[in-house]
Amino acid sequence: MVNAVPGAPAVNIITPPYDEEIGLYLRTMKMCFNSDLNYNHCSFRFLPPFNYIKTACSFGEEDEDDYDAIVVGSGYGGSVAAYRMSMAGIKVCLLEKGRKWEAQDFPTDSLRLLSSVRFENKSLKFGLGPKDALLQIHTEHDSLAATVCGLGGGSLVNAGVMLPTPVRAKRNPKWPKEWESNWKSCEASASSMLNIQNVPVKFPNAKTMEKLMVDDEFKETTSLKLSINFDVEEQGTHLKTAKETESCIACGNCLSGCPYNAKNSTDKNYLFSAVEAGCSIKTDCEVKYVVKNPNDTNTHKKRACRWLVYLNETDYLQSDFVILSAGVFGTTDLLFRSQTRGLELSSRLGEGFSCNGNNVAYLAGCTTPLGAYGLHKEQFSKIPFQERPGPAISKSYTSSLGFTIQSAVLPTAYPYLIFKGVSTYGWPTGFWFLHGVIDKLKHSFGIKSTQAMALNVMGYDESDGKITFDKISDKINFSPPIDPLLPRKIISFQKLTKKLRGILFMSRYRSTSVHLLGGCNASSDHFNGVCNSNGQVFDSQSPSSVHSGLYVCDASLIPCSIGVNPSLTIATASEHVSRHLIQDIINTYVGKDSIDERDDKSCGSIRSWKVEEKSRCDVRFTEVMKGHINGMPCVAYLKLKMNAKTRKGNLVFGKSHPLMRGIVGGYLNFNSIEKDRLYVIDGEVDLCEVEIRTPYTQFMHYRLLLAASSGSRYVLEGKKVMNPFLLGLYGWKESTTLEVTFKKVKNNNPSEEMVDLKGVLHVSMIALVRSLISMEGNNKMKFVLLLLQSIFRTYVMQKPRGSFMGFPHVELMDRPYPSSTLHEIRTEDGFVIGCRQWKIKMDDSWRFEREKNPYPVLLLNGHSTESFCLPTESNDLVRTLLDKGHETWLLQTRLHPLHSSNSFTFEDISRFDIPAAIDKILKLNDKSTKIHVVAHCVGGLAIHMAIMGGHVSATRIASLSCTNSSMFFKLTPFSTFKMWLPLIPITMMILGKNTILPILKRTKESMNHKLLKSIARVIPRYERCNCEECEVFSGIFGNTFWHENITQTLHSWMNEKSNSSLPMSAFPHLRKICNTGFIVDSKGNNSYLIHAERMSLPTLYISGGRTLLVTRETSWLGNKYMKLHHPNLRHERVVVDGFGHSDLLIGEESCKEVFPHILSHIGLAEKEENLDDNGNDYKCFSGDDRFEDGELVFEGWVSSSITIWFLLFFVALCSVTLYCLPLKFLF
């Protein structure tokens, strides 16, 4: 019984019997886990809870981050959608970039107003002012556009003019005919919710305009109403829950936000009612883009939603429905950004942009009282209500030509000098540029200044403007539409100026608009618009197909000019979209939980939700990596957020510290694959990942889901592998080198070419310094310390993060290991060896009746370890060969632990053991039978020595397949250095006559054996293991496999059962072969390579792509040697990525990655034999080499020169130390 964690229940450990005759072993093994989630154990022991250091702050908030619907924006579109969906009973969240404005927050003087304005020149790429300012001024070339940012959108600072949609606009061919079916009812709903009212008093400015506009050309707009509370008309019953407002006091400050709470902006009706119905509103929360939720990610969420709404490159919310209502610029910008991340949209995005024929002017220098200046609070007592300026706009006049002129009262907060020459030009020409200064001086000295008012004009432009997206600056640009009536509008302004004998200040811009429309036009198909009439966003699959759950609901839907103030039109269109949206929601959730039962009906909330403030416990930094993938340049610009919710944890060892795990955003420049950026739409990182099979190795694991503007998606996954080799000599290289795989995500297009690439990315010293400088967060110092602590533990302390204790609970499976017969064979020199035979089952013989029986296969193991008969694995090579109909023989030479000898060389194996085994096989089969040979490591050396030494004829061999072996034997730099040192002679001297070293710790050992094993444990190796037997074996040989490639059950079986002892008498011979680089006799003479003519047989040489012990040059030289001397035979070479040495045969994925090459080689060899037997011409094969002929690489993951120099320095240091020790005692 072994307790995984103190105090936790124990787990039984049962070791299965090893039956030599029956061969009944486990096919699979089950891990027994405790039901207690705090202890995840199965015959594993945990170290002290290093990875569970508690932090003072926890990640995130208690808020849920998934919703049924998310609304982006809070103007006349978003507020309507949020209210209607909230009333339907679903979970709604509204996100607003700006802040919540109370009445007292609105600016009442010029300084406060200027601090609430952001000016952005898109031509010069220049911006001034806070990004969430109330008023947003955008200029580009000859156009100016003004937008509003705040909870309530444009309704906060507009004049509140509500006019029904003119008939002329509805007759426009672009106007969706589907809207007419319920337009009147939707308009009535919007009018009722906004509580629009008639102006009760004719204010002075309205009287003045009434006198001036007495003309046949202009007629007064009689239907003008305002969304302002005059406390005259009773509020409807639907407004019982609306926020109370005060009565208008006619101050004239509407255009800077009503400071007296009299305006019926959407935050006081629609949004207030939405919150009452349960809507959650988050202000100060800007949305960057939306993407479709990948089905295979985000499994930590409670449920899979269709859309991810990103607030920055790492933080997002998710929902089934997303309603974009961020205004014309905001919504279009969002869709453009989403398009660059793979969202398929109509090519008409950004087209059909309209400014509603809008322009403004400033009429000043009039002596006639106009009553168009706003009032300060102290002036109210001096001026009666009916003589005050009134609301900003209270009269409207429409020309017979189709445009509308309105006079406007300017708030006291507006800096009037801006309208007098700074952004305007004066008419008539003359000394108009001094007017503003003179008028200001008059006001300062108490002299009565002249009167002024603003003029607003609207009409019908061509709606042919365009909004585009600059991928370099990542911002939108816009060009206004053509306004054919602009000259006539200016003439009308000039007529008014003459009548008032004032000075006209006309905007310097061809278009100056506060009424932006279009850009995501509603249409019948994606060839003419971006959305359908219901607001659903088109995809590009078919003309009318849409993205499920993605809507646009704001002014960007309107496909043409309205000609008048568009607020009521926008609200009406939003009501229409909301009705179809509610129906879509009902259809989506039909059959699921009842909408009324999905959540409780608790009241919602409005609060600031700045992501930066919510992430105060996170650590954020940037990381830039450069390199090549398949030889193609690639640069990764990543933004990491640590201490985040990740989706994947280590099952047994537990997760690393939260600050070591995080999510990743950013993008890749990989122009060879995609011309545009590849954006990270879902990424995660663990800087201290440890796998159960490699507890000493630390991984920095990155996994990025990338999206391209083409719609393709890719996965980049990579690891920085940090092994405790040579006390962290290569720590810098390993911790800054990311080995990556780059794959294309499959879709439903069968003709699409798949991408599967590999490469390496590096972090430079300069990039690392920049990452440290860019680091933000309260816990950044703690993050750095934790990272350094993990690196120190990996390289210096070399402490594992887990400990394997043996077999977990075992259950015998239905499929037993195939039965076999063990033949004892006496060799020519009198030594007894074994050869195990697996025959073809009688049940399987029918498969081969109509064809020639396949040749038997002889398997030759490496040094002392079993590579072919693996009872714990379901698909070892023995089972695989039997399934293919091959009688299989496994030779147990005098090198095998069961038949080990105290005195032998590899010459003895090649001269006596292999020929005796082949004779036995041929004796039990037809004399004409040939034998396929599959050999590993020193087994491959032995078969080459047997053939080239003349002990076995090549005519008896059908084919030869060798893994990490040939007639050449090239080692890694570190293994070469170990062979160069006199370690083996010293070892043999320590062993004495008994050259068989017991490996199992439970066996009896002599003092010499204990000393040798102690030395072996301290010898450096690429990968450390917490199993003592594995440590001893790898200390002597070096690592023979990558632990991550083999199962834990196989690892235990190998070290507890298979590798019971290690015969070492052949090591001196092996040392000579390794130092020479090719097979030699026991005296070091080249007795084999000179007989190339004896190797007349097809060959296959396999190497691991992730080199361990033996380099790829071994198979490369062997393949070249055979092609040179036997060009008429088929010679193949394969390098299998991800594998090392013996894991080519014992790896968990060997049956998929390696065995097919061996079976293919054997099958082709038998086909060639059949062709030769039938008298056909013999074919010439050039071989299949996956590497170019001239390729020579430095093997291993460390530089050979650095390794050699370091080891030489280490030996010299030890020598000096030993030499100086006697001198110390002399003195």
Residue 448: which pLDDT band, with cuts at 50, 70 and 90?
A: low
Question: Looking at residue 1188, what is its pLDDT?
Answer: 42
Question: Looking at residue 644, what is its pLDDT?
Answer: 64
Q: Edge-to-edge, what's the strand order for the sheet holding 143-148?
A: 126-128, 117-121, 135-140, 143-148, 511-513
Residue 51: which pLDDT band, with cuts at 50, 70 and 90?
A: very low
pLDDT in tens, 728-742: 788 899 999 999 999
Mean pLDDT of 287-294: 92
Residue 989: which pLDDT band, with cuts at 50, 70 and 90?
A: confident
Tokens representing residue 130 in the block? 């806070």
Q: Is residue 82 predicted with pLDDT exceeding 90?
A: yes
Q: Which of 893, 901, 870 is nearest to 1054 (CA)?
A: 870
DSSP state of 446: T
- Written as one letter, the residue type at 224 is L
Instruction: Tell me the C-alpha distance between 148 and 431, whole Å.
Output: 35
Tokens representing residue 406 in the block? 């309105």
Question: Looking at residue 95, what is its pLDDT?
Answer: 96
Q: Is residue 25 predicted with pLDDT exceeding 80?
A: no
pLDDT in tens, 1085-1130: 999 999 999 999 999 999 999 898 999 999 999 999 999 999 999 9
Which residues make Cβ contacts (< 8 Å) with residue 585, sequence separation at least 6? 68, 69, 85, 88, 90, 321, 595
Is the CB of residue 695 less than 8 Å from the CB of residue 991? no
DSSP state of 235: P
> Please, what's the largest Cα pairwise distance for the chain?
131
Enumerate the domain spans of the chain: 1-46+802-817, 359-513, 615-786, 821-971+1076-1173, 974-1063, 1198-1227
Q: Is residue 765 predicted with pLDDT exceeding 90?
A: yes
Question: Looking at residue 612, what is its pLDDT?
Answer: 65
Tokens representing residue 976 in the block? 């070469």
Tokens representing residue 550 in the block? 């993605």
Residue 805: which pLDDT band, with cuts at 50, 70 and 90?
A: very low
φ and ψ at 858, to 5 degrees?
A: -105, 125
pTM score, two decimals?
A: 0.81
* 368: three-class secondary structure by DSSP: coil
φ and ψ at 551, to 5 degrees?
A: -130, 155
Question: Looking at residue 439, what is its pLDDT?
Answer: 66
Neighbours of 1127 (CB within 10 A): 12
For residues 19 and 375, the model is more confident at 375
Q: Are strands 931-936 and 857-860 parallel, antiparallel or unpaired?
A: parallel
Q: Which of 1114, 1078, 1075 is nearest to 1193 (CA)?
A: 1114
Residue 442: which pLDDT band, with cuts at 50, 70 and 90?
A: low
821-971+1076-1173: CATH, from 3.40.50.1820, 3.40.47.10, 3.30.43.10, 3.30.300.30 = 3.40.50.1820
Mean pLDDT of 1021-1041: 87
Q: Which of 247, 221, 267 is nearest to 96 (CA)?
A: 267
Among the residue ranges 506-515, 593-602, 769-778, 793-802, the one predicted with the least confidence is 593-602
pLDDT in tens, 820-842: 999 999 999 999 999 999 998 76
Question: Looking at residue 447, what is its pLDDT?
Answer: 59
Q: Report the Cα 495 to chain-centroid distance in Å.
A: 62
Among the residue ranges 76-90, 279-293, 425-439, the one predicted with the least confidence is 425-439
Give whole-number Cα distances, 955 to 948, 1125, 1178, 1208, in Å: 12, 16, 16, 47
**Which residues of 27-128 form beta strands (DSSP E)?**
44-45, 66-72, 92-95, 117-121, 126-128
Residue 977: which pLDDT band, with cuts at 50, 70 and 90?
A: confident
Instruction: Tell me the C-alpha distance between 358 and 461, whole Å.
Output: 9
Give whole-number Cα distances, 1174 to 853, 957, 1116, 1164, in Å: 16, 19, 33, 16
Residue 1142: which pLDDT band, with cuts at 50, 70 and 90?
A: very high
Helix (H) or strand (E) holding 1029: helix 1028-1037
**Which residues of 553-677 form beta strands (DSSP E)?**
605-608, 619-629, 632-642, 661-669
Neighbours of 559 (CB within 10 A): 26
Instruction: Tell me the C-alpha distance between 973 and 963, whole Å.
Output: 20
Residue 1016: which pLDDT band, with cuts at 50, 70 and 90?
A: confident
For residues 232 and 472, the model is more confident at 472
For residues 298 and 982, the model is more confident at 982
* Peptide bond just before 566 cis, omega within 30 deg: no
Question: Looking at residue 229, what is its pLDDT?
Answer: 93
For residues 556 and 125, the model is more confident at 556
Please give the radius of gyration of the chain, using alpha carbons only, rounded to the nearest integer. Answer: 41
Question: Looking at residue 393, what is its pLDDT?
Answer: 93
Is the CB of residue 572 less than 8 Å from the CB of residue 67? no
Neighbours of 829 (CB within 10 A): 12
Mean pLDDT of 121-130: 86
Instruction: Tell me the C-alpha distance between 1096 and 1115, whole Å.
Output: 17
Mean pLDDT of 685-714: 90
pLDDT in tens, 523-575: 999 999 999 999 999 998 888 899 999 999 999 999 999 999 999 999 999 99
Residue 981: which pLDDT band, with cuts at 50, 70 and 90?
A: confident
Q: What percent of the chain has pLDDT over 70?
A: 81
pLDDT in tens, 196-218: 999 999 998 888 888 888 776 88
- Written as one letter, the residue type at 339 is Q
Neighbours of 1115 (CB within 10 A): 30
b or e along 218-240 (b: 16 or more beta carbons within 10 Å of the residue's beta carbon)? Answer: beebeebbbbbbbeeeebeeebe
Alpha helices in 1040-1083 (DSSP H): 1048-1053, 1067-1076
Alpha helices in 1104-1199 (DSSP H): 1113-1125, 1143-1146, 1150-1153, 1155-1173
Instruction: Tell me the C-alpha distance between 335 and 4, whole Å.
Output: 52
Q: What is the mean pLDDT of the chain?
A: 83
Residue tagged 């009842």 (tokens) = 594
Q: Is residue 1217 predicted with pLDDT exceeding 70?
A: no
Residue 627: which pLDDT band, with cuts at 50, 70 and 90?
A: very high
Q: Is residue 11 predicted with pLDDT exceeding 80?
A: no
Instruction: Tell me the C-alpha distance between 244 and 239, whole Å.
Output: 9
Instruction: Tell me the C-alpha distance between 634 and 714, whole Å.
Output: 14
* 936: three-class secondary structure by DSSP: strand
Tokens representing residue 481 in the block? 């539409």
Burial (CB count <10 Å: 0-12, 13-18, 19+), residue 1083: exposed
Instruction: Tell me the C-alpha distance between 338 and 72, whole Å.
Output: 14
Q: Is residue 44 predicted with pLDDT exceeding 70?
A: no
Tokens representing residue 578 in the block? 């909301």
Question: Looking at residue 988, what is its pLDDT?
Answer: 87
For residues 1189 and 613, the model is more confident at 613
Q: Is residue 59 predicted with pLDDT exceeding 60?
A: no
Is the CB of residue 177 less than 8 Å from the CB of residue 164? no
Q: Which of 494, 517, 249 is nearest to 374 (CA)?
A: 249
Instruction: Tell me the C-alpha distance between 912 and 423, whole Å.
Output: 102
Instruction: Tell me the C-alpha distance between 831 and 893, whole Å.
Output: 10
Mean pLDDT of 940-952: 96
Q: Is residue 1158 predicted with pLDDT exceeding 80?
A: yes
Q: Which of 1136, 1120, 1113 is nearest to 1183 (CA)?
A: 1120
Helix (H) or strand (E) holding 962: strand 957-963
Q: Is residue 969 predicted with pLDDT exceeding 50?
A: yes
* 471: three-class secondary structure by DSSP: coil
Q: What percent of the chain has pLDDT over 90?
A: 54
Residue 655: which pLDDT band, with cuts at 50, 70 and 90?
A: low
